């Protein structure tokens, strides 16, 4: 799927963090977001996911195109891995077969009956990423997906993303680790960074001189 954004402003709290964000992502392509900590990578991903409405700009994609995976995995500790995935499959209206596929893709089959609270950090992360598959959505928005994954899991994850791309999907990935994906472009978020404190709301107050 081919999609893009034009002149997008991303807001966090009362501050405009990024302005004039413009890029396009072709079908089967991945874009890697780079930039120092706090430059607005997460804010951009959350804006695209629909969690933070953008004050300006357009997103040229249907709103149900995006699947978001943030720092938190959205797993319930008291439920098993399988139950967690089946719940998300139900919420996203996917058929139960995709759960089996997701379990296999992230080598979670042996852990399917285990409570999510008993998983290690890396295993939890894998279960959280497996959720992307059951959403059935074409564009993956990934925020530091490889945190707490070991080298083998990172490689397996890279392979899985590559397969998603080969199937016509696309991905926007904020990461410091090379995933070895072919044809990946880099997008430096710092280029769109807005000067600190120049938010729309506060600017109106700053010159409210009596």
Figure out which of the listed residues 2, 7, 60, 64 binds other proteins, where binding follows CB under 8 A: 64
Figure out which of the listed residues 67, 108, 171, 189 binds other proteins, where binding follows CB under 8 A: 67
DSSP string, the chain: --EEEEEEEEEETTEEEEEEEEEEE-TT-EEEEE--TTSSHHHHHHHHHTSS--SS-EEES-GGGEEEE-SS----TTSBHHHHHHHHHHHTT--THHHHHHHHHTT-GGGTTSBGGGS-HHHHHHHHHHHHHHHT-SEEEEESTTTT--HHHHHHHHHHHHHHHHTT-EEEEE-SS----TT-EEEEGGGGBPPTT--HHHHHHHT---
Select 16 or 32, whichever has its Cβ closest to other proteins: 16
CB of 141 to other proteins, least distance (A): 9
Select 23 or 87, whichever has its Cβ closest to other proteins: 87
| Contact by Cβ (8 Å): 161, 140 | yes
Select 124 or 153, whichever has its Cβ closest to other proteins: 124
Interacting residues with other proteins between 109 and 168 (CB under 8 A): 131, 135
CB of 169 to other proteins, least distance (A): 16
Figure out which of the listed residues 95, 110, 151, 204 binds other proteins, where binding follows CB under 8 A: 204
Select 91 or 152, whichever has its Cβ closest to other proteins: 91
- Interaction of residue 195 with other proteins, rule CB under 8 A: yes
Figure out which of the listed residues 18, 29, 73, 81 binds other proteins, where binding follows CB under 8 A: 73
Interacting residues with other proteins between 6 and 45 (CB under 8 A): 11, 13-14
- Interaction of residue 106 with other proteins, rule CB under 8 A: no
The alpha carbon of residue 66 and the mean position of all alpha carbons in its chain are separated, in whole angstroms, by 8
User: What is the C-alpha separation between 210 and 14, in angstroms, rounded?
Assistant: 23
Give the binding site for other proteins (CB under 8 A). 11, 13-14, 46, 49-53, 64, 66-68, 70-79, 83, 87-88, 90-93, 131, 135, 195-198, 201-210
């Amino acid at each position: 799927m081919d999609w893009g954004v034009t002149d997008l402003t991303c807001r966090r709290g009362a501050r405009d963090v990024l302005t004039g964000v413009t890029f396009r992502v072709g079908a089967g392509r991945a874009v890697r977001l780079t930039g120092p900590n706090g430059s607005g990578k997460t804010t951009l991903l959350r804006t695209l996911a629909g969690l933070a409405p953008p004050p300006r700009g357009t997103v040229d994609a249907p709103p149900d195109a995006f699947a978001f995976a943030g720092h938190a995995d959205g797993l319930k500790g008291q439920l098993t891995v399988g139950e967690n995935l089946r719940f998300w499959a139900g919420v996203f209206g996917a058929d139960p077969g995709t759960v089996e596929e997701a379990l296999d893709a992230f080598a979670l089959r042996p852990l399917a009956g285990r409570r999510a609270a008993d998983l290690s950090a890396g295993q939890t992360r894998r279960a959280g990423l497996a959720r992307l598959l059951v959403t059935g959505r074409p564009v993956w928005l990934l925020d530091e997906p490889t945190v707490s994954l070991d080298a083998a899991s990172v490689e397996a994850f890279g392979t899985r993303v590559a397969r998603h791309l080969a199937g016509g999907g696309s991905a926007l990935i904020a990461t410091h680790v090379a995933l070895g994906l072919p044809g990946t472009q880099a997008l430096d978020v710092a280029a769109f960074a807005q000067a600190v404190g120049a938010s729309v709301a506060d600017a109106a107050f700053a010159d409210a001189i009596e």
